[in-house]
Amino acid sequence: MASLILASASPRRRELLAGLGVEFDVVTAQVTEHEEATTDPRVMVAHNAALKADWVAERYPQAWVLGADTTVFIDGHALNKPQDAAEARSMLRRLSGRTHTVFTGIALRHAATGVRIDQGVASEVTMRVLDDATIESYLAKVHTLDKAGGYGIQDHGELIVAGYTGSLSNIIGLPVEETKQLLTRCGLLGT
């Protein structure tokens, strides 16, 4: 087992973390995430990231464990992963022509030494005005059921996204700069 474990099944998080050049293993936490749409999104993603990291760290106390969780937030509600294509359509209609916030919580744990670090990152995304034909075209090209808000900016984002501010990697699911700083601070990455 590598000295770092990613507590996530997300292929996007794997790719982003691999881009930092750190060796890691993946162990998917067997937890039930809190996804109540009216919960403060910062609290929800922090809770879920910690839940995943803590579950894996308990089983691998000598390893550093990184957990993360991302959601889309608009109109006082979190838009988590859609249950089906109809819900993905509904989410995209709600986001159409508007700006929303993407929140990610990251949690770094080392159970043997008791290290617990939590951090949150926010970015904003402005969507194009999406007519039904554009939404259907997007859904035909992208598997959206594993993506908060029913979309992935990295998957044909040019069809639906007008622009963004903040961290692109945060919008994808793992804020790389902040993660790099945490891993460097804990001695897992060279400076």
CATH of the domain at 129: 3.90.950.10
Q: Is residue 165 part of a domain?
A: yes
Output the pLDDT for position 38. Answer: 83
Name the one residue in this structure whose structure tokens are 């997007």.
138
Output the pLDDT for position 34. Answer: 87
Q: Is residue 150 part of a domain?
A: yes
Q: Is residue 77 part of a domain?
A: yes
**Of the candidates 104, 22, 121, which has an alpha carbon nearest to the alpha carbon of residue 69?**
104
Q: Is residue 190 part of a domain?
A: no
Q: Is residue 172 part of a domain?
A: yes
Question: Dihedrals φ, ψ of 151, to 5°?
Answer: -150, 160
Query: Sign (positive/negative) of CA torsion 88, 94, 99, 103?
Result: negative
Give the tokens for residue 87: 């819900």
Q: Is 69 a catalytic residue?
A: yes
Count of domains forming the chain: 1
Q: Is residue 109 part of a domain?
A: yes
Single pTM value for the model: 0.93
Both ends of the chain: CA-CA distance in Å?
23
Q: In angstroms, rounded to a whole number, what is the distance separating the alpha carbons of residues 148 and 10?
A: 12
Each residue's pLDDT expressed in tens, for the chain with a length of 191 residues: 679 999 998 999 999 999 999 999 999 999 998 888 788 999 999 999 999 999 999 999 999 999 999 999 999 999 999 999 999 999 999 999 999 999 999 999 999 999 999 999 999 999 999 999 999 999 999 999 999 999 999 999 999 999 999 999 999 999 999 999 999 999 998 75
Q: Choose the catalytic residue: 25, 54, 69, 84.
A: 69
Cβ proximity of 41 and 65 under 8 Å: no
Q: Is residue 54 part of a domain?
A: yes
Q: Residue 82: give the domain boundaries.
A: 4-185
Output the pLDDT for position 36. Answer: 85
- The strand pair at 4-6 and 25-26 is best described as parallel
Q: Is residue 191 part of a domain?
A: no
Query: Sign (positive/negative) of CA torsion 83, 135, 91, 164?
Result: positive
